[in-house]
A and B are shown apart, each in its own frame.
Chain A
């Protein structure tokens, strides 16, 4: 009896296995036949989800970037080494011209230094006269290597090997030794993506050093972004330096961005200071601007002051407007 039962169970298992295998085979045949169509639909779906900026899609991107970061770091090394070797060879061959250029640059820098020291002394004196506090200048820097680029003509981004683990956050400014490179747009654990200031999605609030005109530096995927939203009659000239204004509260004010190189029908063209050819290391700036006190606190503070002075404390709005 027990032998029959065991045989029956074994037969059932064999049948079930056969059914499962048949089902698996059918599914596999179905997938193989319609795989292309199915994956085209999935890709299109992913594009739509990507447009909706879903957290899931961003997480997948960050995971791939984080996972590939060590490999990309290794791949980058021979490229950078070859580039440095070529630069050194080039400099060695042009050592006389390089020496003359450096002497000239040194002379100009010494002039600038003298000017800067004079202005700093003058600035300190004026601040003391006005009883103004010293501006907060301590900005923490995280040095990072560029490990991947955008690999195509549509987006202009760079992947760096510093992420949330090293304190990098979205919105932070990224600079090289010459000026602003862009800002951080996505942050993973071990990597972050930097949107270059030339990308068509980039908008940087800037100020023109000469005229103090404020504007927005708008990227257009060309090497030279344009100034937009200037005042009605701007007093800018070709050669004027463009600096960050800090108006967005994310980028520190006064970072060198570029200089105006053309004014015409194509708009006001800015050539960035960044040396794209030698852009292999950057610094991410952790800038925390002074946050103004909340409006409620301001009203309460005023109320207290007015109450102490015997004023009308029952109408806070009126108190603020005064």
Chain B
């Protein structure tokens, strides 16, 4: 009885790994870095984590988990509450349509698909931020952030693939 309970608890914990990695990405994104300029431009790790799990374990990276991760990011970095959550959910809406076809594709195709998805998230964020503040934000920092995020994808995706092997009942491609 106790063994069965501990096994189910272990399964539950392992199935919560996508959400946990998402939370770690939020913390890493908000961590203060030594910047030469006041504006922080670094890879947007949360997009990578959400994209990866939406593709490989959509039943664990549910819309609710995506929403909560986006919301925590917004609250932690001081952006308007809902901005990142909305951008991530809109991008998810586009992604889930092609999820089944994409998941079987080779690495470079996935990388290119990620670039498109990340660009969509950044475009949504830019549009929402511009509408929210009625201020035309510059594209350069956003483009730099996007480039860094796309460059960071293969490395983080490899680490997430290792995490995926610990999760039971997910499709391993």
Chain A residues proximal to chain B, CB less than 8 Å: 35-36, 39-40, 42-47, 49-51, 57, 60-61, 63-65, 68, 71-72, 75-76, 79, 83, 146-159, 186, 193, 196, 198-201, 221-223, 274, 276-278, 280
Contacts and interface: CB of A to CB of B under 8 A. Distances in A.
Nearest to A86: B34
B8 to A, nearest CB: 20
Given A39-B67, A64-B76, A153-B137, 16 more contacts: A39-B89, A42-B67, A46-B82, A49-B81, A50-B80, A60-B81, A64-B72, A76-B31, A151-B77, A152-B77, A152-B79, A156-B38, A193-B78, A221-B39, A221-B138, A223-B37
A57 B83 CA distance: 13
Given A152-B40, A152-B44, A72 B77 contact: no
Contacts of B125: 152, 154
B81 A148 contact: no
Given A36-B93, A43-B82, A68-B27, A76 B32 contact: yes
Interface stretch (B109-117, B128-136, B164-172): B128-136
B78 A157 contact: yes
B contact residues, range: 35 or more
9 contacts: A46-B82, A68-B72, A75-B28, A150-B40, A150-B78, A153-B141, A153-B145, A154-B137, A222-B39
B79 A40 contact: no
B163 to A, nearest CB: 19
B82 A151 contact: no
Minimum-distance CB pairs A-B, first 4? A46-B82, A64-B75, A153-B141, A43-B86
A61 B37 contact: no
A60 B62 CA distance: 22
A83 B33 CA distance: 9
A153 B41 contact: yes
Nearest to A76: B32
A151 B38 contact: no
Contacts of B79: 150, 152, 154-155
Interface string B54-88: 00000000111011001111111111111101100
A198 B63 contact: no
Given A75-B31, A221-B137, A198 B76 contact: no
A148 B75 contact: no
Nearest to B78: A157
B3 interface: no
Nearest to B87: A43
Given A151-B73, A151-B77, A157-B78, A36 B31 contact: no
Contacts of B133: 154, 200-201
B32 A79 contact: yes
Given A35-B64, A39-B89, A42-B67, A149 B33 contact: yes
Most buried by A among B64, B72, B80, B132: B80
B28 to A, nearest CB: 8
A152 B145 contact: yes
B98 interface: no
B30 interface: yes
